[in-house]
Structure formats: C-alpha cells, structure tokens
C-alpha cells in the first residue's frame, strides 16, 4: 500500500503539512512505494526542542535502566527481521540475503551498546597527591543527530543510535530521502518501546533539512555517512557552528592480487566485494591491482565470475545482484564507463545497462570488468558506486602500494596472498583505515571502530564500539580533597 511517510517527534507521528515530497521508487521494478516529505527547518527545530526537553530526565535515568529499552529493541528487531529485510530490498534494491546481513549488523550494534554500564565507566586514581583523589567520568553530550545515506538504510543509523541513547543522549535521525521506509518501520518498533517522548525523533528530508540540523544551536553532535563532497560540507559547517562532528565519506577501494594468492577463493571474494549490493557499498572493491603473473589467471577468472552473476529483483530466489538506486545513478555509471573507454580502458565483460525480463523498468547494470585503466584516469580515481571493477596491472607489490597510497581515498585496502611477510608489509604500509587480508569487505564488527582515512573520513572518532562511546560522551575530570580533621567530628 502506498504510504505517505511521517516524522516522529516527541513520541508522536506527525504529518509535515505543505512540505514538498519526493517519490520513493522500487529500483528493481520502478513501482512507486511511498512519498517522503522534505521537512523544512521548523520541523528540525520541533525535533531539537523535544529532544532537548527530554534530555535532563533521560540522562538521569541509570545506564542499567536505559539499556533495558535496547534489550527490548533487539527483540523487536529480531521478531520483525524478515519484514524489515523485505523493506530494505524493496526500497534499496540489494538482494534479500544482503538486506538480512545489514540488519544483523544493525542488531549487533544494539547488543554492543547494551554493555554501556561497563563501557561508559571512567577512571579513578587515589592519591594524585597525599590525600587527594582524581577521577574522570563520562557524561552525555546532549542532543545528537545522524544524517544517513541510502546504501545501508538499517545498518548505518545503528552505528550511532544505540550508543547515543545508551550514553544518555537524546537523538534525531534523518534517513536518506531515497531509502526512508526502513527507518520509518524501525521507528514504529521504537515507538513500541515506551521510551519517554522526545528521546528519539525522526525527521525526513534532504539538503535543507540537513542544513537546519547543522545550524541548530541545541544540537551538540552530528554524525554523517555519505559522499565525500557532502561529508566535507557537513564537517565544516557543523564544526563552524561549534558542534562535535564525524563525517564518513566516499571511497575507491583497491584490492591487490599477488601471484601466490589462492585464485578460486580470491576470485569468489573479489567478485562478491565488487558486485555485491550492485557495487553500492562504501567497502566495495573497485580497483583490482594484479601483480606480475597474477594478471592473466585473475583476469580470466574474474571475467567468468562477472559474466555468470545472476542479475534481477532481489526478492526472487537465486538472484545474486540487484539494480542500482536510480536511473540517474545508472546513467552516471554508464557515462563514467564511456569516458574510461575513450581514455583507453578495455571492457573485459559487461559495460552496458541490463534489461531483466519482467523488470524492464529496473535500473540494472551489467556486472562489469574493465582493464588497462590508466592509473591517473577518471575511472581509476573516481568512486563509481556501481557494479564495475577496474583492473590495473603492475610488476611489484611496491608499485601496487604506491598506487594505493597516491589515491584520494582511504576507506579500505585489501590484499590476497599466501605470504605472511607480504601481508604484514601491506597492513603496515597501506594508507587506509580498514584493511582486509584475504578478505574482500573488511567491515569492522560492532565492537571495533568503522575506520576510514584521507577523503573517506573527516573527524577523529569513528562510528561503533569504543569510539562511539567516546563520541557520545564528554569527559569531566574531578579532583577531590577531603581534609582529614573533618572525619574526626564523628
Ligand atoms: P549522499 O552524500 O548523496 O547523501 C547522504 C546524506 O546527505 C543524505 O541523508 C542526504 O539527504 C544528505 N545530503 C545530500 N546532499 C546534500 C547537500 N548538498 N547538503 C546537505 N545534505 C545533503 O550519499 P548517498 O548517495 O546517500 O550514499 C552513498 C555515498 O555514501 C557513497 O559515496 C558511499 O561511499 C558513501 N558511504 C560511505 C560510508 C563510509 O563508511 N565511509 C558508508 C556508506 C556509504
């Protein structure tokens, strides 16, 4: 049924009167799924005021009581797992198994945040001087907000939401306007938790809504995930307004294949990394760098893996790759390929839009392998965010590392080898925040920070785990002296 999406503010579902709306389309079928309102600044203000009003009581709620809501949320997410995964596939296009995978990752973050009574503890040292003690405590920051991208509509809000709440903050989520239905359903589950009104709020919208968040004086901390251009904007504008901010940006992830790599494992894993979620993962392998004799066998095997990938509607069994998010995205990807070919790159397989029988309105792109990329060319440098793997051939691991370290991004770098020495050299020298050794998508578990370097990240503390606890708390240091003659009065 076609839905008009609403905001959730101060414990109430609210229409956004007179707001412009966008259509939310199923990228595999073209079907209209929902209308999403583009909230003006007044809606952000309403959410920020509600969150600010809820903060004093929520921060006084003991951590052990706060996490009870998260235990309940975990149960509700599990009970509604299949329905939520189906919504992700319908609005985003990724196949159902991938949708389930991201939902599992979301739930893992709830589990980790349930440990906040341990993780939020401070430090205490007696006798920093005779009879004087010093300790550091962690207190919540206040009203926090997250601005999320389209490609993980469930997982990415959960890099932040559970930690923000567990630490005693109140919170606003602004989902992607392209995939807003998942968080709408999640918020219905959150509504059933019985949290005090204003502790969690959802505001739909796009750039105007985001800028209102960045400028709002009550919002103290902002987390962002999306493209590098917008991440840079978020980081500078939020910081200029005195906010704590972390902004994760785009990527161009290289994977090195050495001649001693296990070829069949490597090919399977690299193909899953490059073509999984139709290449719309910030950890998708985008450039394979083959070293020496790895060149010909890898090219042959990856060509075959791409050609045999089953493309279609992600709700149908047996489908291995869905569409890209919009027709505009498909045009952008095909345009990049055209220009790459003019720059001298060779198409090994794919390179075109794909028509899937029964889903002629879907935004499908053929799984594509393109080789002989000139290292400085646009296709070798720019994030494609589609099912395209570029291949570059070099002679040595040093050449490959130089290529990686000269790139603009630093989200992930992977190496396939059977040599421990090569692996150590690689993890030591590669300029990237997430490293995979014989791994194609080195996505950190919830108890590790989701790292990212260079133009893939602006800030210092990352999402998830201990970093999230540090980001969502501010430290207070107390030095205490209690004169000993005071105790003699009793
Ligand atoms: P996007 O930058 O277009 O949008 C992200 C968010 O920013 C959305 O909520 C959108 O409403 C808002 N936004 C867009 N334009 C804006 C503007 N001009 N001013 C203010 N706000 C604006 O990103 P996307 O297309 O939704 O997501 C894909 C991108 O996200 C890719 O570049 C991908 O690499 C990146 N990503 C990075 C990570 C990571 O961990 N580094 C993870 C997932 C996705």
What is the domain partition of the chain in residue ranges? 3-249+456-478, 253-437
Atom in ligand 1 nearest the alpha carbon of residue 174: 9
Strands 368-371, 412-416: parallel, antiparallel or unpaired by DSSP? unpaired
Ligand 1, pocket residues at CB < 6 Å: 147-152, 174, 176-177, 206-207, 210-211, 225-227, 230, 233, 248-251, 282, 383, 385, 411, 450, 452, 456
> What does the alpha-carbon distance between residue 195 and residue 57 come to, in Å, rounded to a whole number?
11
Q: Are 411 and 365 in contact (CB under 8 A)?
A: no
In sign, the C-alpha dihedral spanning 101, 106, 460, 147 is: positive
Say which CATH topology domain 3-249+456-478 has. Answer: Aldehyde Dehydrogenase; Chain A, domain 1 (3.40.605)
**Ligand 1 atom closest to residue 229's alpha carbon, by position in its atom list:** 2
Nearest to 325 by CA among 178, 471, 187, 207: 178
Q: Which residues of 134-167 are buried (b: 16+ CB within 10 A; e: fewer)?
A: eeeebebbbbbbbbbbbbbbbbbbbbbbbbbbbb
Q: Is the dihedral of CA 469, 470, 471, 472 positive or negative?
A: positive
pLDDT attached to residue 375: 82
- Contact assessment for residue 440 and residue 269, using Cβ atoms and an 8 Å cutoff: yes
Q: Residue 424, Cβ neighbours under 10 Å: how many?
A: 11
The Cβ of residue 24 has, within 10 Å, a number of other Cβ atoms equal to 24
pLDDT of residue 486: 63
From 114, 144, 167, 282, the catalytic residue: 282
Nearest CA to ligand 1 atom 43: 282
pLDDT at 484 (0 to 100): 74
Quick one: pLDDT at residue 488? 62
Question: What pLDDT was estimated at residue 490?
Answer: 59
Residue 277's CB is within 10 A of a number of other CB atoms, namely 27
Task: Establish whether 167 is a catalytic residue.
Answer: no
Residue with tokens 């209308």: 35
Among positive and negative, which fits the CA dihedral 225, 110, 183, 187?
Answer: negative
Secondary structure letter of residue 206 according to DSSP: S
Q: How far apart are CA 407 and CA 454, in angstroms?
A: 9
Q: Write the CATH number of the domain with boundaries 253-437.
A: 3.40.309.10
Token pair 């994030």 is found at 383
Give the residue, by CA position, lying nearest to ligand 1 atom 21: 207
Per this entry, what is the length of the chain?
490
Task: Please give the distance, rounded to the nearest whole angstrom, from the Cα atom of residue 221 to the centre of ligand 1.
Answer: 18
Which positions of the chain have pLDDT values less than 70?
Answer: 1-2, 485-490
Cα-based distances in Å from 427 to 149, 357, 358, 373:
29, 44, 46, 25
**For the sheet containing 132-140, what is the strand order?**
123-129, 132-140, 473-481
Distance between CA atoms of residues 202 and 205, nearest Å: 10
């Amino acid at each position: 049924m076609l839905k008009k999406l609403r905001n959730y503010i101060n414990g109430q579902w609210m229409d956004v009167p007179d707001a412009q709306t966008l259509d939310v389309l199923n990228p595999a079928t073209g079907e209209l799924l929902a209308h999403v309102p583009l909230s003006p600044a007044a809606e952000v203000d309403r959410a920020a005021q509600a969150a600010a009003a809820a903060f004093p009581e929520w921060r006084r709620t003991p951590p052990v009581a706060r996490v009870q809501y998260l235990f309940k949320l975990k149960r509700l997410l599990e009970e509604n797992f299949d329905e939520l995964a189906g919504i992700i596939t319908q609005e985003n296009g990724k196949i159902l198994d991938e949708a389930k995978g991201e939902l599992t990752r979301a739930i893992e973050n709830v589990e980790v945040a349930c440990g906040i009574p341990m993780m939020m503890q401070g430090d205490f040292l007696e006798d920093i001087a005779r009879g004087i003690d010093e300790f550091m405590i962690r207190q919540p920051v206040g009203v926090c907000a997250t601005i999320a991208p389209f490609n993980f509509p469930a997982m990415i809000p959960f890099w932040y939401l559970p930690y923000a709440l567990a630490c005693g903050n109140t919170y606003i989520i602004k989902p992607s306007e392209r995939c807003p239905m998942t968080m709408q359903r999640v918020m219905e589950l959150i509504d059933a938790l019985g949290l005090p009104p204003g502790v969690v709020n959802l505001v739909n919208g796009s750039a105007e809504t985001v800028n209102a968040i960045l400028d709002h004086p009550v919002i103290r901390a902002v987390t962002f995930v999306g493209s590098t251009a917008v991440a840079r904007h978020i980081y500078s504008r939020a910081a200029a307004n005195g906010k704590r901010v972390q902004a994760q940006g785009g990527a161009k992830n290289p994977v090195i294949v050495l001649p001693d790599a296990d070829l069949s494992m490597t090919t399977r894993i690299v193909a899953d990394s490059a073509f999984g979620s139709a290449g719309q993962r910030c950890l998708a392998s985008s450039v394979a760098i083959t070293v020496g004799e790895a060149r010909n066998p890898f090219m042959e095997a990856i060509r075959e893996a791409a050609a045999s990938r089953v493309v279609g509607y992600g709700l149908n069994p047996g489908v291995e790759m869905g569409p890209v998010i919009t027709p505009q995205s498909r045009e952008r990807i095909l345009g990049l390929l055209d220009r790459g070919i003019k720059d001298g790159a060779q198409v090994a397989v794919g390179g075109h839009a794909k028509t899937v029988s029964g889903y002629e309105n879907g935004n499908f792109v053929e799984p594509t392998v393109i080789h002989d990329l000139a290292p400085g060319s646009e296709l070798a440098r720019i994030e494609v965010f589609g099912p395209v793997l570029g291949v570059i051939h070099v002679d040595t691991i040093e050449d490959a590392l130089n290529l990686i370290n000269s790139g603009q991004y630093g989200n992930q770098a992977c190496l396939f080898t059977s040599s421990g020495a090569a692996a150590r050299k690689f993890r030591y020298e590669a300029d990237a925040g997430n490293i995979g050794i014989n791994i194609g998508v080195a996505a950190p578990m919830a108890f590790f920070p989701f790292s990212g370097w260079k133009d893939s990240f602006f800030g210092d503390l990352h999402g998830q785990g201990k970093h999230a606890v540090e980001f969502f708390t501010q430290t207070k240091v107390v030095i205490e002296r209690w004169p000993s003659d005071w105790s003699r009065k009793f």
